[in-house]
Amino acid sequence: MTEARVWSVTTTTPTEEDAQKIARTVVAERLAAGAEVTGPAMSVFWHLDQLGEGQEWRVTLKTAAAVRDKLAGRILELHPWAGGPEIIATPVEWAIDGYVDWVEKFTAAPE
């Protein structure tokens, strides 16, 4: 099985502004071809051994396999939560060729 060429990378942030900053920065830096910010969502979670609740904003980024890990590293640098925010990635098992080409084109260094 070949590795997926396109990945959907997701993180959550405490504010809409944090989510937009991550989205704008990584797309401008060509680490993602596009980003979607959604929210707020109510979240229930464990943190520092305590049960917590709060609002979060989701950032979903479309990227190429070649820059997926670099994108994750950049999210870590930009994210307001130190020590391990949620960053998860799901391979896009199928997409039309034009979409895959678009993602790969806009996550490559400019010519």
Q: Residue 93 sits in a domain of what CATH number?
A: 3.30.70.120
Residue 61 Cα to chain centre, angstroms: 4
Dihedral angle computed from the Cα positions of residues 68, 31, 61 and 84, in that order, rounded to the nearest 10 degrees = 60
- Which residues are CB-neighbours of 62 under 8 A, at least 6 positions away? 6, 7, 8, 9, 32, 33, 34, 35, 92, 103
Q: Which residues of 71-98 are buried (b: 16+ CB within 10 A; e: fewer)?
A: bbebbeebbeeeeebebebeebeeeeee
Which residues span the domain enclosing 56? 6-106
Q: How many domains does the chain have?
A: 1
The pair of structure tokens assigned to 26 is 């990584």
What pLDDT, in 10s, does the model give residues 18-32? 999 999 999 999 999
Predicted pLDDT of residue 111? 61
Predicted pLDDT of residue 2? 65
What pLDDT, in 10s, does the model give residues 67-109? 999 999 999 999 999 778 999 999 999 999 999 999 999 998 7
Predicted pLDDT of residue 83? 74
Q: Is residue 62 part of a domain?
A: yes
Predicted pLDDT of residue 109? 76
Residue 56 binned pLDDT confidence (cut-offs 50, 70, 90) = very high
Q: Is residue 111 part of a domain?
A: no
pTM above 0.75, yes or no: yes
